[in-house]
Amino acid sequence: MAPLAIPMATIQPSVEQQATVNLCLTENVVVTARPGAGKTATAQAIVAANHNRPIAILTYSKRLQLQTAERLEQYPWSDEFTFHGLAGRLFNTVVSRDSALRSLRNDGIPPVWTGKPYEIIVLDELQDCTDDLFWLTCTFITAVTHALSGRAPQIVVLGDERQAIYKFRGADSRYLSLAPSTMATLSPYPWTHLTMSKSFRLSHENSTFVNNVFLNGEQYITGSHSGPKPLYLHGPVFQVESLAAQLLPLIQKYGPEQTAILSPAVRTNYPLSELTNLLPKKPNNIPIAVSTSDEAPLDDAVLQGKLCVSTYHQFKGSERDLVIGRDLADNTCPNETFVALTRACKQLVLVHDQQQFPMPFSDVEELHKLSDFVDLSDSGMKTPKSPGRPPELGLALPKKVFASDVTRHVPDDIIEEMCAKHLHISKAPPLPATQPINAPDKVLANDSKQHYEAVSDLNGLAVVAAYEHAQRGTLKTLGKKEPPPKSTSRPRKLAIWLCHEACNYEVNVSNYRSRQIQMEDHPFDWLTRHLEAAKNRLKAQFPETDNLEFEVALEKRLQLEDPAGGKEQETDLRGRVDIVQTGLSKSRTKIATIWEIKFVSQLSLEHVIQASIYGYLWSDKFRKRKVLPRIILFNVRDGEKWEITPRDGVASLRAVEEEILIAKYTKKDTLTDDEFLDRCARTKAEVENAFARA
């Protein structure tokens, strides 16, 4: 027997939500929903009001899809997908990355929809849509229409243009705002644009502060409850004791699990790491969850019961009672800043570095009026510069760049094109599914509090270190000059010691100590059953006669020309190769091999770019040898191995290095509305032609 749906009377949608529900009975709807306006509740109300009408809900993130599915579990006529999950269902294959989606698009074979005959399709977070996701959306709606003998479903589009923060992935908020134009031929029903401005997350105090201080007085968002004034801390961010004295009472009041510290970047943020390191120490004892990868999604198990330290992008879609954000400088309120400002349910705190000017677009008079302003500096706040700065287009290289970071915020299609043009990748497939080394990626660090710590990064370090120690008796991988103590002669004790030292090494690299502090009483034994197998798998890759060097540092001063015609710019490109193997070729010529070792679920083209840059840096350092190194990616977890060969020797490696830096650090102008609509029309025509040929 199917579970019964909750009656509409018990859901109690707001006036704005109910207006959307009413229109969905007969029309297509575009809903601009402010942060905390209840998009998921609106989707639930739509489903509840359309009893037994098949409905599909598409979400951008897996986390939101799971939350929506849990909320709608008792409505058997609705299905919830991520866009990639839908692609897998539609094409009957696994689609975990944009590259797989693009391959399906290039095949040009239209799918046949065999699922429910959806009468309503809800597209959530459409401000994050890309051209490939728009192609998927058009393909899905067209396939459903064909399955229903030409009867098109109604469309509901949800999102918020000011929360569009994935432009670096090719996202464009106009897929939301211009949906009635871009999707006009997909569904024949009339379109209505609604706004849900009431936020059930923000207080009146926080919404007024955001509107008047950061949005030039535009009443963009409306609060729903009373709360404390925002707290604005101005002072020296390196004096973390002063900041902590202000923040600790608030963290203790709201609880670590209801507190988040947000920043544009976490990995390279020294003041943030110093503040974070202070919180878990005695007597504060504040548990911390910080991901030193600015890209990886947040893990709910690791977050449980802890204060979350996160980038703006990672925290999008989440909320906490207490949110502590850092100031930014820009000409207009950037969407990333807006997202950070709208995460707090109760207390919002902003930390302003006294060395920085206030943001030019902020209203300082309103700031003092609408916040509790605390000046921890000796000199007072600087006068903001006048707004009106033109967009800074073109290349803007930082002083130094690490090879491990170069692919961050570079669209997948650019990376794919770069690899196809300059590199040949020979892939040895993974081992059978029965042979992966399933070391845990997180461990229970505190049983009574059920606190987990992420350890996937430590696994890779420990495996390479174990192999280095077995082959050379050294531990450069962990930055140690001394060998392990004699007490670690047995494999189990050595595995424990290496995991512990990997944790200590990571502290020195990242400058974040919270995991180390919170694992003080952990036995570090999670690799004891896996390390020997992992070490032997790595050992099998190398002949006994070859010479191996570990943790080889490489660096080069680069000069790049700005494609937009600006001045030549310089940067230091740096990297550390896991293993450099030196042996003899078949012709008895000395040859080096660059090995990049991973312990991940699967290898990616981002790893290819990283390893290629190592190959270029090595070739430049030893250019007198006139022999290119071999470049190999190896995944210890599943045994997959990729060999990377530049198509035109060192020139191809140089091209990869130049093009990835230009792609990452060049700001381009956006398409005009006419250009955007023309691109959407071409994408729709592509879908229509594919179905017409079928």
pLDDT tens-digit map of 493-516: 999 999 999 999 999 999 999 999
Quickly state the pLDDT bin for 330 (edges 50, 70, 90).
low
55, part of any domain: yes
If you average pLDDT over residues 238-257, what whole number do you get?
A: 96
Same domain, 457 and 507: yes
What is the structure's pLDDT at 297? 79
pTM of the model: 0.91
- pLDDT of 263 over the 70 cut: yes
Same domain, 329 and 227: yes
687, part of any domain: no
pLDDT digits (tens, 9 = 90+) for 548-566: 999 999 999 999 998 878 7
How many other CB atoms sit within 10 Å of the CB of residue 337? 27
- pLDDT of 654 over the 70 cut: yes
Q: Which residue has the tokens 């959307």?
A: 20
Q: State phi, psi for 49 to the nearest 5 degrees.
A: -80, -10
Q: Which amino acid is at 119?
A: E
Nearest to 554 by CA among 611, 471, 469: 611
H/E stretch holding 652: helix 650-665
- pLDDT of 522 over the 70 cut: yes
Give the pair of three-digit tokens for residue 560: 């790049």
What is the structure's pLDDT at 107? 94
609 touches 660 (CB < 8 A) = yes
What is the structure's pLDDT at 386? 72
If you average pLDDT over residues 310-319, what whole number do you get?
A: 90
Which residues lie across from 582 on neighbouring strands?
A: 547, 592
Quickly state the pLDDT bin for 329 (edges 50, 70, 90).
low
292, part of any domain: yes
Q: Which residue has the tokens 């432009």?
A: 167
Q: Which amino acid is at 55?
A: I
Same domain, 184 and 229: no
Residues 6+ apart with CB under 8 A from 243: 233, 235, 237, 275, 351, 376
393, part of any domain: no
Q: What percent of the chain has pLDDT over 70?
A: 96
Nearest to 454 by CA among 365, 540, 536, 514: 514
What is the structure's pLDDT at 2? 39
Same domain, 610 and 629: yes
**Which has the minimum average pLDDT: 581-585, 593-597, 632-636?**
581-585
If you average pLDDT over residues 670-674, what whole number do you get?
A: 94
What is the structure's pLDDT at 634? 98
What is the structure's pLDDT at 10? 56
Q: Which residue has the higher pLDDT, 357 or 86?
A: 86
What is the structure's pLDDT at 390? 54
- pLDDT of 332 over the 70 cut: no
Same domain, 471 and 505: yes
What is the structure's pLDDT at 438? 93
Nearest to 412 by CA among 685, 175, 84: 84
80 touches 57 (CB < 8 A) = yes
Same domain, 422 and 453: no
Q: Which residue has the tokens 């192609």?
A: 135
127 touches 104 (CB < 8 A) = no
- pLDDT of 180 over the 70 cut: yes
If you average pLDDT over residues 672-686, what whole number do you get?
A: 98
383, part of any domain: no
How many other CB atoms sit within 10 Å of the CB of residue 511? 17
676, part of any domain: no
Same domain, 417 and 464: no
251, part of any domain: yes
446 touches 523 (CB < 8 A) = no
Quickly state the pLDDT bin for 8 (edges 50, 70, 90).
very low
If you average pLDDT over residues 343-352, what whole number do you get?
A: 97
Q: Which residue has the tokens 């939301």?
A: 176
535, part of any domain: no
**Which has the minimum average pLDDT: 101-105, 228-232, 281-285, 325-329?**
325-329
- pLDDT of 587 over the 90 cut: no
Full domain range(s) for residue 481: 442-529
How many other CB atoms sit within 10 Å of the CB of residue 279? 23
H/E stretch holding 588: none
What is the structure's pLDDT at 641? 97
What is the structure's pLDDT at 328? 57
Same domain, 194 and 213: no
Quickly state the pLDDT bin for 541 (edges 50, 70, 90).
very high
Q: State phi, psi for 608 to the nearest 5 degrees.
A: -60, -45
Quickly state the pLDDT bin for 399 (edges 50, 70, 90).
very high
What is the structure's pLDDT at 160? 97
Same domain, 422 and 566: yes
Same domain, 553 and 501: no
d(CA 96, CA 66): 16
Q: What is the CATH number of the domain that holds 232?
A: 3.40.50.300
What is the structure's pLDDT at 11? 65
d(CA 45, CA 22): 10
What average pLDDT does the structure give for the chain? Answer: 92
**Which has the minimum average pLDDT: 244-253, 269-278, 387-396?**
387-396
- pLDDT of 36 over the 90 cut: yes
Same domain, 136 and 35: yes
What is the structure's pLDDT at 4? 40
- pLDDT of 294 over the 80 cut: no
Final residue before a domain boundary, out of 198, 233, 254: 198
- pLDDT of 71 over the 70 cut: yes
Residue 122 in 3-state DSSP? strand
Final residue before a domain boundary, out of 198, 216, 241: 198
If you average pLDDT over residues 239-261, what whole number do you get?
A: 97
Q: Which residue has the higher pLDDT, 412 or 594?
A: 594
If you average pLDDT over residues 391-417, what whole number do you get?
A: 89
Final residue before a domain boundary, out of 507, 529, 551: 529
Residue 162 gets which letter from DSSP?
G
What is the structure's pLDDT at 626? 72
What is the structure's pLDDT at 338? 93
Quickly state the pLDDT bin for 169 (edges 50, 70, 90).
confident
| Number of domains present in the structure of the chain | 4
What is the structure's pLDDT at 73? 94
- pLDDT of 214 over the 70 cut: yes
Same domain, 460 and 364: no
